[in-house]
Structure 1
Amino acid sequence: MPVATYQAWLSLYAGVGLVVVICAAAAICKTAVDYRTGVLSLPFGTWQDRVLAAPKLWWRWQVNYLTGAPVVLMIALLYAHHIGFAVLGDV
């Protein structure tokens, strides 16, 4: 693999990884805001409610995270276009 191709793939993966971390942090913030504003209600009255709170919280985080997936994909495609698909395809 040529060095230019390796560097292009490495920068693409690093860029997408950074955007994924930003999206995950934004999803955590959005989930916290949903809980504080009452959009996400997690009752803790019984032991069953406490046990079911974790999956409900996880589900809300997943929904919030997946709403950012199109943005991550678009940024990755735009960055790959900027680098040049020809450089990425040299193997």
Structure 2
Amino acid sequence: MPIATYQAWLSLYAGVGLVVAICAVAAVLKTAADYRMGVLQLPFATWKDRVLAAPKLWWRWQVNYLTGAPVVLAIALLYAHHIGFAVLGDV
């Protein structure tokens, strides 16, 4: 693999990883905001409610995270277009 191709793939993966990390943090903040505003109800009255709170919280985070997936995909495609698909294809 030529060094230019390696560097192009490395920069693409690093860029996508950074965008995914930003999206994950934004999903955490949105989930916390949903809880504070009362959109996400997590009752803790019984032991069953406490046990089921974690999956409900995880599900809300997943929904919030996946709403950012089109943005991550668009940024990755635009960046791949910027560095050149021909460079990424040299294997």
Deviation of 1:47 (Å): 0.2
> Which digits, 9 at most, give the CA deviation of each residue in 1:20-51, with x for residues without a partner?
00000000000000000000000000000000
Displacement over 3 Å in runs of 4+? none
The one-letter amino acid paired with 1:35 is: Y
Match of 1:20 in 2: 20
Matches within 5 A, 1:28-43: 28-43=28-43
**CA distance in structure 1 between the aligned counterparts of 2:9 and 2:48, rounded to whole angstroms:** 47
Deviation of 1:57 (Å): 0.1
The one-letter amino acid paired with 1:48 is: K
Could you tell me the TM-score, scaled by structure 2's length? 1.00
Matches within 5 A, 1:11-90: 11-90=11-90
Q: CA RMSD in A?
A: 0.2
3-state SS, counterpart of residue 44 of structure 2:
coil
**CA distance in structure 2 between the aligned counterparts of 1:5 and 1:59, rounded to whole angstroms:** 38
Q: How many residues align?
A: 91
Match of 1:6 in 2: 6
Deviation of 1:10 (Å): 0.1
In structure 2, the gaps of 5 or more residues are none
**CA distance in structure 2 between the aligned counterparts of 1:10 and 1:73, rounded to whole angstroms:** 17
**CA distance in structure 1 between the aligned counterparts of 2:33 and 2:20, rounded to whole angstroms:** 20
